[in-house]
Amino acid sequence: MTLVTLGVHDLSRAVTFYEALGWEAHTASVGGEVAFFDAGGMVVALWGRDKLAEDSGVVDPGGWGGVTLAHNVSEPAEVDAILAVARAAGAIVARSAAPTPWGGYSGVFVDPDGHPWEVAVNPGWPLDADGRPQLN
């Protein structure tokens, strides 16, 4: 996978939210309608939800689309810190960070457009020097 596009209701608000998480919007944007972020080997794009639905050939019922995004980190303190930054930027923390039944540590925040993000430490997926999980 090289690109994930998130449908958003207000592009400016969404860009501000992700920049508050420490992401840097790429200067190349399509007519001011799409924002791109380098996500370490792949791209995350933000685009109007209605335009994304039309382009994808789907009807948008406006609810959760059955997808949760995830960000793996190395230490539980990083999970706690990211959830705190996300909350301060306007996210709702849907599941506070805690130990998991599978031996990890994770929590979930929901961005202002309803996209859930799990932030996790997974001991079965150690991160390499570039922060990429190594599936064992």
In the chain, pLDDT over 70 holds for what percent of residues?
Answer: 96
Q: What is the pLDDT confidence band of residue 113, given thresholds at 50, 70 and 90?
A: very high
For residue 61, give Cα distances in angstroms to 46, 47, 54, 64, 103: 19, 17, 12, 9, 36
> Which pLDDT band holds residue 10 (cuts at 50, 70, 90)?
very high
- Any residues with CB less than 8 A from the CB of 46 and at least 6 apart, and which? 5, 6, 8, 11, 14, 15, 18, 34, 35, 37
pLDDT at 87: 98
pLDDT tens per residue, range 82-105? 999 999 999 999 999 999 999 999
Choose between 136 and 55: higher pLDDT: 55
Q: By 3-state DSSP, what share of the chain in percent is helix, strand and coil, each rounded to 5?
A: 25, 30, 45
In the predicted model, is pLDDT for residue 3 greater than 80? yes
Please give the residue that has the higher pLDDT: either 135 or 85.
85
Distance CA 66, CA 75 (A): 27
Return the beta strands (E) in 18-135 as ranges: 34-38, 43-48, 69-72, 92-99, 105-110, 116-121
Residue 132 has pLDDT above 80, yes or no: yes
Beta strands 69-72; 3-8: pairing state: unpaired
DSSP symbols for 90-122: T-EEEEEEEE-TTS-EEEEEE-TTS-EEEEEE-
**27 pLDDT more than 70:** no
> 56-68: per-residue pLDDT in tens?
999 988 888 888 9
Phi, psi of 121 (to 5 degrees): -105, 120
What rounded mean pLDDT belongs to the chain? 92
Taking the model in full, what pTM does it have?
0.89
